[in-house]
Structures are given as structure tokens and as C-alpha cells.
Amino acid sequence: MPEIKINGKKIKFEEGKTILDVCRKNNIKIPTLCYHPDLKAEGKCRQCIVEVNGKIMTSCNTQAKEGMNIITENEKIKKYRKINAALLMSRVKTKDILETEDIEELMEHDGLFENKLRNLPIDNKNPAIERNINLCINCGKCIRKCHDVQSVDAIYPAFKGIETIAATPFLCPLDQTVCTYCGQCSLVCPTGAIREKSSIRDVEKALKDEGKHVIIQTAPSMRASLGEEFGLKPGSLITGKMVTALKKLGFNRVFDTDFGADMTTYEEAHELMERIEKNKNLPMTTSCCPAWIVFMEKNYPELLNHISTCKSPQQMFGAIAKTYYAKLHNIDPKNIVVVSAMPCTAKKFECERREMRSSGFKDVDYVLTTRELGRMLKQNNINLPSLNDSEFDKPLGISSGSGAIFGTTGGVTQAVLRVIEWKMKSMDVEWEELKKVEGIRQIKLKLGDKELLLGIIYGLGNARKVMEDLKKGKCRYDFIEVMACPGGCIGGGGQPKSTDMDIVKKRSLALYRQDEKLEMRKAHENPVLKEVYDNFLGEPLSKKAHKYLHTRYFNRKK
């Protein structure tokens, strides 16, 4: 193993690692800002500078080489870091910045050029994401996410020098661009220049209204990530504590989106079996990711017939809550407010879609992201880690393990296959293969005498590759699961800002732990699901099921 000297100490390292990697591995602290472990290093912010053999260099994109003599901090480096920090912060009002870990150390540097403060309009015309470019310090993380990872290209740097900003084409509002509202940009933005459009006020208003019956549904991935907002270790499962916290906030009922996920599983499995039988519109792709739906509507409208017509778990839950649940408990659906806690910014857009009103009202009223819910709990002095566990309310809080794994990549496929296995009896698949976290996976499935190929994809960049193949007729899959965010919902755009792939993998394991803990692991075993079908919907894919649980898509290409 080659060796380098860091601050006078000899350290062995693996070939091909950067200086920053080596230092982090050996617990030597180097400040960074534009660096993100999942993104290409750009060396833009120059906070990670170190002295290599007497020369100042950026550690994030310099490879460690045998014999290097590195000093990570001295007076000169400190001075340079400070100047660079002041330059980065020179065009923003530091008091407007939403503080995050990345930027804490920069906060002391006020703008150098007060008179050069930007005064651009705030873009908040869409329901999901708010952009205040006046807070942008050009770290470029949002652009690397949008361009390199998601291949969406809604924003890109425009103008040059001190005028550079992360801009939409012609500075138009985000809803007129190809943006899918996946929110990955808001996940990495260190200043809050791009953030989710907050619904906290609306929810608080509804909670205070005596006449309203306010219910909340919590997304599968939420229980594996919300704890991080309160300093718990990544991958901590806090299901019971979360329910207690939500009850403390004043929600009349705390339900589970996992129940909606069970319904989606059940409908989607039947839809898939029907399509395979009739050999119609194959490959079928999943439909539970709203960013993926917008991506298809804006880029590949000619392929929309491949998407399953099932609504997402969130919307199925909303439709059932304002019809079946309202009738069951004799509540006027007009007075029910459905709030959902989601790891996602695109869900905010989904619930505003005009066709998502099958109950006669807006099926889901407000969406809170993980970050917003964390903020709301803190504002109300609720310290999540210290709470006791409680159970979800009945009936819509009853769910199977299939629902829980919806939050991770490959989860939807597993859930659907569990139902198909029960229906078709003879099925063979490598279950362990399904549990991995990888961008594009191919999995063989034996169903009776048929051999099928499943594709499991996360990241819109990967999805684009597969869709290009499909357009050219080169796609061999029969079923494709797509999640827009890296790792699935557990890496969603509304998750805590510390999210990276290592943390995502830990959250994924937490969801599988939740699944294994449960006795009821298959969607069709859910007793409430049976009740809803027996008393309300009839059969899967029936006319009534289509009315409440299925949707349609629109061509949004310009």
C-alpha cells in the first residue's frame, strides 16, 4: 500500500482515492462546501484547500499519490479559506440563509459587496419547489444533481463571472421548464436558495380549526429517516415515536401510507397479470413516483401507455379516506383534511393535479416533507427521540410488510411479486437479488411456463437510458420499476439534508427490518384491504376501482 504524510503523520491509503477521502477516513477534518460524496468533485468553492509539497491545492479533486507531504491547516490556508468564503458569500444577505451543516462555518463572513446584492424575483409559481436565487452562492450542487444524476436539465449556469446564477432557460418560472419536481436540488442546496414550498402554515391552520377532521398519512420511508432530523443515527427506525409525535401535534387520526401502498400493490399486481395475459402495453412501468410521471409526460408522451394506470399510494389513500372512511365513521368528507408526510417534493405537485379529485374533493389536501415535519415538531417543542411508542390508528393504519418496503428501490417489485406468487402459485425469482441498491438491475422471473425480465431502476438519468432503448424498440423488459430519486424514496428530495448513498443504504436496511418484523407481509393478507374491497370497491380492476384507484396521464411536452 502506498503511503503519504499528512500533518507529519505517515498514513497508508488505497490507490485512486482523493486527498479528501484519505483525510476523512482518518478523521482529519477538512471543511467543504461544493463537495458531495455522490457528485463529481468540481473544486469550485476552494474551502477544501490543503498544502501539498508546499503548493496550495483542492483536496476534493486531487488524487493522493505516493510520497505527498500534506498539511491540512496552517495560518496561510486559514487565511485563503477565509478570503474564498467571503467571496462566496459576497452577494447574499447572510441573515436570510437557511442554516445547514455545510455552511455554518461560512456564516460569519458577511457580503463583501453590499451594493451588489442581487434582486431577482422569487420563483414560487409551482406547488412543489421555491427558488430564491438571491441566496445562491454558486456551489453548483443543484446543477450537478439535475444534469449529471437526473439528466433533467431544468437548470444550468447562465451568464458569467460574478453574474453567474443557476438559471432556468430565459429565467422563466420552474413550471414552464422540463423540471419534474423531484427536489434533488433542494436536497443538496446549502443555503436554502432552492427549498420545498412549505405547507406548514396551511396544516397548522387546519389543525386549529375545530370543525375539521384532520388526518395524516405517513410515507413508508419516513420512519427510517425522520429520526435523523433529531440527531439519531441513519437507519434508526422510529415508527412508534413518530406516531406519538403526530398525535401530540394534534392530528385527529394518524394513518399509514403503507395501507395505500398495499392497495397500489394489489391493483398493480392484477393490472400486470392482465397485461401479461393479453400481451398488451408491455413493458409495464410502475406509477407510484410522481417525479417519474412528470418526467414521462414532459419527455416521452408517446410512451405514456406503458405506465400502470394505478394511482400512487398517497392518492389512493386520499381517495379512500374521503369516501370509504368518511362513510364508515359518518364524517362529511367536506370536513376531512388529509395531510400526508412524504419524503418527496413532487408529491406536493401530485396532490394538486386536477384529476386527483375522484372523491369529489381534493383527495389529499397538503403534503409535508420530512424536513418540514422535522421543523414543525421542533417548533412545537416535541423532542422525538424521548417519546414513547404508540400504534397507528385503525382502520387505515393497518398495513403489511409489503407497504413498508415501498420506500426503497426494488420494494414495489417485491410487493407486487408477493401477490402474483399467491395468485399464480408457480413463480420463481431470486428474492435476495431484489434487495440490492443499484442504479439499473435486471432480474429474471419464471412465471408458469413464461420467462419474464424485470428492470429495477432508480435515478431519472438511468430511466432516460432505458426509455431511449424502449423508444428504439430495443428494450427487453416486461416490467420496469422506476424511482426518480437515488435509492428510491429513502433518498427522496424531501429527506433530511445529510442524505448521501451510504445513509440511503442504511435506511434501506431499516425498511427491510420493519418488513421482517411483521407477521403480515403480503398485501392481500391485509384485513382492512379485504374489507374495503368487499364493502366498497368490489373486485380489483372493477369499474369502481378504476374510478377511485386509477388515473390518466397527459402530454406536457412543449
Query: Whole-angstrom Cα distance, residue 417 to residue 428?
Result: 10
Binder of other proteins out of 95, 160, 278, 472 (CB under 8 A): 160
Q: Which is nearer to other proteins, 174 or 214 (CB)?
A: 174
Specify whether 271 is catalytic: yes
For the chain, what is the total number of helices (H) and then of strands (E)? 18, 18
Query: Whole-angstrom Cα distance, residue 430 to residue 50?
Result: 48
Residue 428: count other Cβ atoms within 10 Å of its Cβ.
Answer: 11
Specify whether 268 is catalytic: yes
CB of 540 to other proteins, least distance (A): 40
Query: Whole-angstrom Cα distance, residue 362 to residue 353?
Result: 9
Binder of other proteins out of 95, 233, 278, 558 (CB under 8 A): 558
End-to-end CA gap in the chain: 55
CB 249 within 8 A of CB 382: yes
Q: Which residues pair with 427 in a beta bridge?
A: 447
Binder of other proteins out of 155, 219, 226, 316 (CB under 8 A): 155
CB of 154 to other proteins, least distance (A): 6
Q: Which residues contact 253 (CB under 8 A, 6 or more apart)?
A: 213, 215, 216, 393, 396, 397
CB of 143 to other proteins, least distance (A): 9
Size of residue set near other proteins by CB under 8 A: 15
CB of 160 to other proteins, least distance (A): 5
Specify whether 308 is catalytic: yes
Question: Taking CB under 8 A as the rule, does residue 154 contact other proteins?
Answer: yes
Query: Whole-angstrom Cα distance, residue 91 to residue 338?
Result: 41
Report the amino acid identity of residue 531. E
| Cα-to-chain-centroid distance, residue 451 | 32
CB of 178 to other proteins, least distance (A): 7
CB 259 within 8 A of CB 396: yes
Indicate the DSSP class of residue 541: T
Query: What CA dihedral angle connects 95, 96, 101 and 106, to 10 degrees?
Result: -50
Specify whether 352 is catalytic: no
Collapsing DSSP to helix, strand or coil, 90 comes out as: helix
Specify whether 430 is catalytic: no
Pick the catalytic residue: 60, 139, 185, 288?
288
Residue 23: phi, psi to the nearest 5?
A: -65, -45
Residues 227-286 binding other proteins (CB under 8 A) are none
Side-by-side strand order, sheet with 366-369: 253-256, 213-218, 336-342, 366-369
Question: Taking CB under 8 A as the rule, does residue 37 contact other proteins?
Answer: no
Binder of other proteins out of 157, 448, 527, 538 (CB under 8 A): 157
Specify whether 302 is catalytic: no
Residue 108: count other Cβ atoms within 10 Å of its Cβ.
Answer: 11
Question: Taking CB under 8 A as the rule, does residue 472 contact other proteins?
Answer: no
Rounded CA Rg of the chain: 24
Pick the catalytic residue: 268, 289, 485, 522?
268
Pick the catalytic residue: 59, 236, 287, 308?
308
Q: Which is nearer to other proteins, 178 or 214 (CB)?
A: 178
Specify whether 196 is catalytic: no
Of 155-163, 180-188, 202-210, 263-271, the window that binds other proteins (rule: CB under 8 A) is 155-163
Pick the catalytic residue: 196, 228, 229, 350?
350
CB of 176 to other proteins, least distance (A): 10
Query: Whole-angstrom Cα distance, residue 304 to residue 467?
Result: 11
Of 153-161, 230-238, 246-254, 402-410, the window that binds other proteins (rule: CB under 8 A) is 153-161
Specify whether 125 is catalytic: no
Q: Which is nearer to other proteins, 49 or 185 (CB)?
A: 185
Query: Whole-angstrom Cα distance, residue 301 to residue 306?
Result: 10
> What does the per-residue mask of binding to other proteins show for 97-136, with x meaning CB under 8 A?
----------------------------------------
DSSP string across 235-291: T---HHHHHHHHHHHT-SEEEEHHHHHHHHHHHHHHHHHHHHHHT-SPSEE----HH
Residues 163-182 binding other proteins (CB under 8 A) are 167-170, 177-178
Binder of other proteins out of 37, 66, 156, 205 (CB under 8 A): 156
Indicate the DSSP class of residue 550: B
Of 46-54, 159-167, 329-337, 511-519, the window that binds other proteins (rule: CB under 8 A) is 159-167
Binder of other proteins out of 148, 153, 209, 332 (CB under 8 A): 153
Indicate the DSSP class of residue 148: I
Q: Which is nearer to other proteins, 157 or 385 (CB)?
A: 157
| Cα-to-chain-centroid distance, residue 283 | 24
Binder of other proteins out of 113, 159, 431, 554 (CB under 8 A): 159
Upper half-sphere CA count for residue 408 (Cβ side, 13 Å): 29
Question: Taking CB under 8 A as the rule, does residue 150 contact other proteins?
Answer: no
CB of 44 to other proteins, least distance (A): 16
Q: Which spans of this chain sit near other proteins (rule: CB under 8 A)?
A: 153-160, 167-170, 177-178, 558
By annotation, the residues acting in catalysis are 268, 271, 288, 308, 347, 350, 355, 489
